[in-house]
Structure 1
Amino acid sequence: MPDQPARRTFKGRLKRGLVRVRTHVPPGLRLLLGLILIVGGVFGFLPVLGFWMIPLGIAIAALDILPIWRWLRGQRRQ
């Protein structure tokens, strides 16, 4: 199993997906997309939606939240 290419592992696919979202989705929309995925994950008992959407939504929302948080912390120190 360790000799599988990175693109076939779950972690590799998640990284590629996050890079794709970071490059193709505008910054304000990433946060909204992440929140929509989290809310959709709450309805994981439905056939199309699933609990997998919660961690994916958190990861996508973190793409926007972390830079804002770092910027705010930098502003406080000055």
Structure 2
Amino acid sequence: MPLPRQKWLRVLIGCLLVVFGLLGFLPILGFWMVPLGLVVLSHDSAFIRRKRRRMAVWWERRKRAKAAAKASAGPR
């Protein structure tokens, strides 16, 4: 999905997604909006981009560690 060219509009969309995502317990809104808003905000914010990248690296390492542990356990 292409993002708008205007920085202020991308920041507004990202902030709205995060704020409404925090209200995910309400009908229609959902907690899925928070990570999506952070991805949109990371396009313009180096701080958020670094945090998002660290989270992605951590998640991948966690998946690989689980897969390695499962493979080393062998069939039961």
- TM-score category (smaller protein): 0.5 to 0.7
Change (3 A) 1:40 1:25: farther
| Identity in percent | 43
Match of 2:7 among 24, 27, 50: 27
Instruction: State the AA in 1 paired with 2:34.
Output: I
Partner of 2:61: none
**1:32, distance to aligned residue in structure 2 (A):** 1.4
Consecutive aligned runs of 4 or more in structure 1 exceeding 6 Å deviation: none
Higher radius of gyration, 1 or 2: 2
* Alignment gaps of 5+ in structure 1: 1-16, 70-78
Match of 2:26 among 46, 52, 55: 46
* Alignment gaps of 5+ in structure 2: 50-76
